[in-house]
Amino acid sequence: MDFYSIASGSSGNCIYIGTDHSSVLIDAGISCKRITDALRDIDRSVQDLTAILVTHEHSDHIAGLGVLLRKAHVPVYATQATIRQILRYAPLGKVDGKLFCPIDADQPFMVGDMKAEAFHISHDAADPVSYRIEADGRSCAVATDMGCFNRYTVNHLRNLDTILIEANHDERMLQAGPYPWPLKRRILGEKGHLSNTSSAMLLAQVLHDDMKAVFLGHLSKMNNYPDLAYATVISEMAMDPGCHYKEGDIPIYVASREHPMEKLVL
C-alpha cells in the first residue's frame, strides 16, 4: 500500500492512498491541476482513482472537488450530512449528484481491494469524520480537524502502519497572533483543531514498535512552523511518562502544504 501526502495544511488538503489495484484520495481541497500534477509524479492519473473520501465540507477539503469530478467521474464517499453541505457549496459548480455515495461512521466499506472505515471527529462541520484504510495487511489513517480526542478516537488509530495526524497550531502563537478572538476561541475549542501539544498527547497513545512513519499535518500558516511543530511533538512525548518512544525511534515528518511528500510504501 502506498501513502502519499499531496498537500496538508490550513490552505488545502489532499492525501493519496493506493494499492496495485485501487486508489483513493482523502479530500480534494487543492486545485485539480495540483492533484493531477502530483499523481503524474507517481505514475497515476485522476482517471485511475477508485474513489474520493471526503472528511467534511470545509473549503480546504473540497475546493478542487468540482473540477476533478467534471474531469473524471469518480465516486465520492462521505456522510449524508456532509454530502448535503457539499452540494450546497456554490464554488463546486455543476456535478453529477449520482457520484455521491453516503456512508456511516463505524460501518466499514470496500473501495476496490481496500477496506475503509470512517469514524467521528469533533469539529465544527455537519458530520465530520476521519478515515482508516486497510489493504494487503497494512493500515493507515488520516486524522485531522478535531478539537479534541477521546478513547473512541484512540481505538480507531491503534495498530497503524502510518498516520497523518493534525498538529495545527502553537497555542502561544495563536493567542498572541492577529486573529480576532472569536476565531481564536473556535480554533482552541473542542470543535476546532489539535495543537502541537495535543497532537503529541494523542500520538503517545497510538505509537507502537511496528509503526513505519508519522506525518504531522494540517499546520496553520499563521500560527505554526514546521520546525516548531516537530520540536514540540518530540519534546512533549519525551516528557510523557506513558510514552516509551524518543526522537529517532519512529520517523516523524511534517507534511507540506505546498509540495507533495515522498511516497511512502508500506
Give the domain CATH number at 198. 3.60.15.10
Tell me, what's the pLDDT at 263?
Answer: 97
Strand partners, 26: 15, 53
Q: Indicate the average pLDDT of the chain.
A: 97
Q: What percent of the chain has pLDDT over 90?
A: 98
In this structure, the strands spanning 114-120 and 100-103 are unpaired
Does the pLDDT value for residue 242 go beyond 90? no
Q: pLDDT tens, 81-131?
A: 999 999 999 999 999 999 999 999 999 999 999 999 999 999 999 999 999
Strands 2-7 and 264-265 turn out to be: antiparallel
Mean pLDDT of 38-45: 97
> What is the rounded distance in angstroms from the CA atom of residue 100 to the CA atom of residue 79?
10
Q: DSSP letter for 169, please.
A: B
Residue 34 pLDDT more than 90? yes
Average pLDDT of the residues in 195-204: 97
d(CA 157, CA 231): 22
Query: Residue 254 is inside which H or E element, if any?
Result: strand 252-254
pTM exceeds 0.95, yes or no? yes
Q: Which structural domain range is residue 88 located in?
A: 2-265
Q: How far is 136 from 16, CA to CA, in rounded Å?
A: 16
Q: What is the pLDDT of residues 133-174, one digit of tens each?
A: 999 999 999 999 999 999 999 999 999 999 999 999 999 999
129: its cell numbers: 469524520
> What is the pLDDT at residue 250?
96
Q: How far is CA 258 from CA 5, 31, 51, in A?
A: 11, 12, 23
Q: Enumerate the H helices of the chain as residue ranges.
A: 32-41, 59-62, 65-71, 80-87, 151-156, 171-176, 181-188, 196-206, 226-239
Q: What is the pLDDT of residue 24?
A: 98
Q: Do 222 and 241 form a contact (C-beta atoms < 8 A)?
A: no
Specify the pLDDT at position 50. 98
Total number of domains constituting the chain = 1
Instruction: Specify the pLDDT at position 100.
Output: 98
